[in-house]
Amino acid sequence: MDSLYTPTSDIIVAGFHALSEPLRLKVLELLREQELCVCDLCETLGVTQSKLSFHLKTLKEAGLVRSRQEGRWIYYSLNLAQFVILEQYLSDYRRFTKILPARPC
């Protein structure tokens, strides 16, 4: 793969792992529109804060979301740079991989 930035496999694995859970995808969909605090995410998704915290931790560790604290509230937003890395990883397959027909056994 011929790119300026080659992400480590850990970053790629963490990113796709984070994207593999339906609740985390719902969180990302909500954050596409605006930055949200945990209480708003819990209310909209109908989940407890402890359940959501686990999923937000996974998304943060994958670099897909960032957080900032304002007073006693924590607000979450998308980290678009990480999505670019995952997108680049996938696009390299399309651009640089030749798909050859299977050889006869």
What pLDDT, on a 0 to 100 scale, did the predictor assign at position 1? 45
Predicted pLDDT at 7: 58
19 within 8 A of 58, measured Cβ to Cβ: no
Where do the H-state alpha helices sit in 1-105? 9-18, 22-33, 38-45, 49-61, 80-96
The three-state secondary structure class of 58 is: helix
Average pLDDT over residues 49-63: 96
The four Cα atoms 62, 41, 69, 24 give a dihedral, to 10 degrees, of 0
User: Per residue in 14-46, pLDDT tens?
Assistant: 999 999 999 999 999 999 999 999 999 999 999
